[in-house]
């Protein structure tokens, strides 16, 4: 990927910290900023949900509680496997 320029305006304390951190880590400030922004971009993609998956979400209209529903589903699956043999 090609690189281009980015101008940042920060206060003097932040600039001094950036220079110290760059010296301590041996990385250029531009690389540290780029990696930080890349991590933010990567994290934001976790919350993007495809439209097809959004159609799966809904509410279940039942008087049974969660544990009873789960037990029923597990029981149904168990019966399928028992009947295979």
The answer on 36 and 19 residing in a single domain is: yes
Residue with more model confidence, 56 or 23: 23
Domain-located, residue 4? no
Percentage of the chain exceeding pLDDT 90: 35
Domain-located, residue 32? yes
The tens digit of pLDDT for each residue in 35-60 reads: 999 888 887 766 666 777 667 766 66
In the numeric block, which tokens belong to residue 3?
A: 């690189």
Domain-located, residue 2? no
For 31-36, what is the mean pLDDT?
Answer: 93
Q: Give the number of domains in the chain.
A: 2
In terms of residue numbers, what domain contains 41?
Answer: 12-45
pTM for the whole thing? 0.50
Q: Are 33 and 6 in contact (CB under 8 A)?
A: yes
């Amino acid at each position: 990927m090609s690189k281009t320029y980015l101008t940042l305006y920060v206060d003097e304390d932040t600039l001094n910290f950036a220079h110290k951190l760059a010296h301590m880590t041996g990385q250029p400030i531009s690389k540290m900023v780029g990696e930080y922004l890349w991590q933010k971009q990567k994290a934001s993609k976790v919350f993007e949900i495809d439209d097809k998956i959004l159609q799966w979400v809904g509410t279940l209209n039942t008087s049974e509680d969660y544990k009873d529903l789960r037990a029923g589903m597990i029981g149904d699956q168990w019966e399928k496997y028992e009947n295979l043999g």
